[in-house]
Amino acid sequence: MANKTYVSDIDRGVYDIINKEDHRFIADRGLTEEIIREISREKDEPEWMLKFRLKSLEIYKQKPVPTWGADLSDLDVENIVHYVKPNTEMARTWDDVPEDIKETFERLGIPQAERESLAGVGAQYDSEVVYHSIQEELTAQGVVYTDMDTAVKEYESIVKKYFMTLITNRDHKFSALHGAVWSGGSFVYVPKGVKVEKPLQSYFRLNAKGAGQFEHTLIVVEEGAELHFIEGCSAPKYGVQNLHAGAVELFVKDDAKLRYSTIENWSRNMYNLNTKRCAVDKNGRIEWVSGSFGSRVSMLYPMSILRGEGASSEFTGITFASSGQYLDTGTKVVHAAPNTTSIINSKSISKNGGHAFYRGLLKVTPGAYNVKSTVNCESLMLDSESRSDTLPIIEVMNDKVDIGHEAKIGRISDDTIFYLMSRGIPEGEAKAMIVRGFVEPITKELPLEYAVELNNLIGLELEGTIG
């Protein structure tokens, strides 16, 4: 095709609007024992949590920076602010949220989505949750949806039973960092047999310059219960590093079902080193729907541990990498019980020299007979500068399995673009149509407002691609 012009970055509109910083408390840069004690003091935590944080800090100092994935050599954790408490308390109505913070979430469409289609909303701003709500009828059924700080105090026995047991502070350097400085996040408990008809949603907004966000999400769906949980996150762009090292722990009990949908939409200065895991018991089901946009570097591999007979998981994910971005994403599934099934559908798009890397693990343990699994990876490159790699690892420890694997990597078809242009469609729109068709299997799995957001993000990413 003819010469093209490229833009190095995009105007992300509402996602890049910066509020004036207004803190009630902000920690010093870096990571010390005193900072950990200050965070715990601000939260008025029980002694066991402070001890856990301090132990995590000790482990963090001993762990090396991973060298097998994205290049993290420029990440300067000692120059990151690990805790920023906004100048407000958690509110139960939007009227009680400070005007500038409320406007931020209004621009992102959170209150509108709550009014129209959600059963509850949590909104985090920097390091703390500033708004939380849940419909009264769900509370009457015993459903708990609150922030993690409240959960540590009011549901301490449940939190102690599950907190950082799937993701431990010994797993890797950034899980240890999370254990030391975690703040905010969501706690959901769905009692036995309760089916939550409308989704719950948490949104995490990082506004502070040079800060980190370390929210912790803990969800327990008891036997026979059902839940759809949505997470969204974003941050404006700064000229300095920001860090996101959250943790998501999901527990799906016998015959229960959880759908976890997320769109991560970070700015290009963000290091996104998130960890997500789910344990699924007998005949339980986890469904992941994941979109990874933005960030300078991402390392994210949601993991399903199918530990009960008949358990199943389905992962549907999309990654979009542009100039200067290295998005190292994928998924892991461990079949640890007989008659378990998994489906993985992963798609990536890269443009302007962006690098999308699929890294996956499918493991079948010796006693996990009659496992069925299908893996499908597709990568679409919009130009010859971009790069896509796949590294699917399959470990099978017995012979009674049925596993299929398919991977496709290719450039956008010049012939298809030419065909569409010959029908009067401009080149830019032709390209966008092809990309939208490529990601349709993802968008149709998302709630309407998130499908619209995903399409808008793709539109923003494609702006300026063709000149």
Q: Shortest CA distance to 245 belongs to which of 431, 410, 82, 445?
A: 82
Burial of 159 (0-12, 13-18, 19+ CB in 10 A): buried
Give the three-class secondary structure for 195: strand
Q: Show the tokens assigned to 17.
A: 């609007």
Nearest to 39 by CA among 53, 18, 52: 53
How far is C-alpha 106 from the chain's CA centre? 21
Measure CA 446 to chain center: 14
Neighbours of 58 (CB within 10 A): 13
Question: Are 415 and 430 contacting, i.e. CB atoms less than 8 angstroms apart?
Answer: no
- Distance between CA atoms of 345 and 289, rounded to whole angstroms? 10
- Mean pLDDT per block of 10 residues along the chain (467 residues) reads 39 66 84 96 96 98 93 92 91 90 85 87 92 94 96 97 98 97 97 96 90 96 97 82 95 98 87 97 96 90 98 94 92 98 94 92 97 94 90 95 92 87 89 85 75 74 52
- Rounded-to-integer distance, Cα 69 and Cα 361, Å: 14
Contact 388, 359 (CB under 8 A): no
Name residue, tokens 């919009």. Answer: 382
Three-state DSSP state, 190: strand
Q: What is the pLDDT of residue 463?
A: 63
Element (H or E) spanning 450, and its range?
A: helix 448-462
- Cα–Cα dist 128/345, whole Å: 34
Total residues found in the chain within this entry:
467
Under 8 Å CB-to-CB from 44, ≥6 apart: which residues?
153
Beta pairing partners, 175: none
Interacting residues of 149 by C-beta distance below 8 A, sequence separation 6+: 43, 128, 129, 183, 184
The half-sphere exposure of 41 on its side-chain side, counting CA atoms within 13 A, is 9
Q: What is the pLDDT, as a whole number, of residue 14?
A: 64
Contacts of 162 (CB under 8 A, 6+ apart): 218, 220, 249, 251
Question: What's the confidence (pLDDT) of residue 10?
Answer: 53
- Cα–Cα dist 60/48, whole Å: 18
Helix (H, G, I), strand (E, B) or coil at 459: helix
Residue type, 217: T
What confidence score (pLDDT) does residue 107 get?
Answer: 81
Determine how many CB atoms are found less than 10 A away from the CB of residue 437.
10
Contacts from 434-437 at CB under 8 Å and sequence distance 24+?
A: 435/349, 435/380, 435/382, 435/462
- Predicted pLDDT of residue 109: 82
Inter-residue contact 236 to 267 (CB < 8 Å): yes
Q: What are 156's two structure tokens? A: 């301490």
CA 168/CA 171 separation, integer angstroms:
6
Residue 179, phi-psi category: left (phi > 0), alpha (psi -120 to 50), beta (remainder): alpha
The pLDDT assigned to 289 comes to 93
pLDDT of amino acid 197:
94
Distance CA 330, CA 197 (A): 29
* pTM for the model: 0.92
Residue 283, by phi and psi: left (phi above 0), alpha (psi -120 to 50) or beta? left
DSSP state of 184: -
Helices (H), ranges, 124-198: 136-140, 148-154, 156-162, 173-181
Residue 22 burial (CB count, 10 A): 12
The answer to whether residues 236 and 270 touch, using CB atoms and an 8 Å cutoff, is no
- Name residues whose C-beta falls within 8 Å of residue 354's C-beta, 6 or more positions apart in sequence: 320, 321, 322, 323, 324, 325, 326, 327, 386, 387
Amino acid 194: pLDDT? 98
Whole-number pLDDT of residue 465: 46
